[in-house]
Chains A and B, each alone.
Chain A
Amino acid sequence: MIQIENVTKTYNNSVRAVDQLNLTVNNGEIVGFIGPNGAGKTTTIKMLTGILKPDSGSVIIDGYNMSTEPLKAKQAIGYIADSPDMFLRLKGIEFMNLISDIYKVPTDVRKERIKTFASRFDLTEVLDEPMQNYSHGMRQKMMVAAALVHDPAVWILDEPLTGLDPKSAFALKTMMREHADAGNSVLFSTHVLEVAEKLCDKVIIINHGKTLFYGTLDELTARYPDMDLEKIFLEMTAHE
């Protein structure tokens, strides 16, 4: 479960990136995080993962407060950053082992998971190569696999489908659904509204760091009858 209460973040004492944001992602839910560029999505995600410290408000992950119990909160998260170009000098298998060690995944369990991810994302042939040899999509798949290798209760994914081929995108979407159905929480940011429409139980739309809407898609379309999601999004963000 993810809980954000009255979270505010200001950069350089002048730019308010996130303003009094509230959000709860219950167990069993997939929530899509939608907003135009610069709306505050990545800032919010970074506060959720402990990368940034909120100026005020609280972030609670799986029952652990990020400011008072950061290690326990971080242990519960599987995070995919917006850029997959990380530690490119390491081989894929070395990166998987690094993440597994950091999240204390036992040897037998990690072997099984690495095997599963390698098969699901077609990584088997490249695991013994430095990641600088990988294509962008391949790196993204590696990041997804590494982020989930410790089977975290909470998935926080920043544009996770960017660069994935259709097979891998489908595999990830299926995994997200399975994970939520198993009683866990998934929050992911996306610009692809169709994905949000098909996959999410709820969406949160933000702009200028403020929540414009948070609820189910049915509630959203009920508020704007005769409009598809794209038009609703444009309508909402245009008036901000």
Chain B
Amino acid sequence: MKIGVKVMPRKEVLDTQGRAVENTLREHGQKLDRCTVGRYIVLDLPDADSEAAMARAKTMAETVLCNPLIETFELERL
């Protein structure tokens, strides 16, 4: 069972990379309000039960994949 973990910066002020990418896109003549850079992690879990897999993915996100001081995360079944 595959679960996607989307990790994003919690605040604009923490998204230094987003600001840089945004500027480059603007320099290329693109119009945009905001660009945010995060990361996407795919977990391939052996669990047959999807609820159990989600629960374990949540634990993994809370304990390792995401730092709650600076990031938020969302899970999705793939």
Partners in one complex: no
* Interface, chain A (partner B; CB < 8 A): none
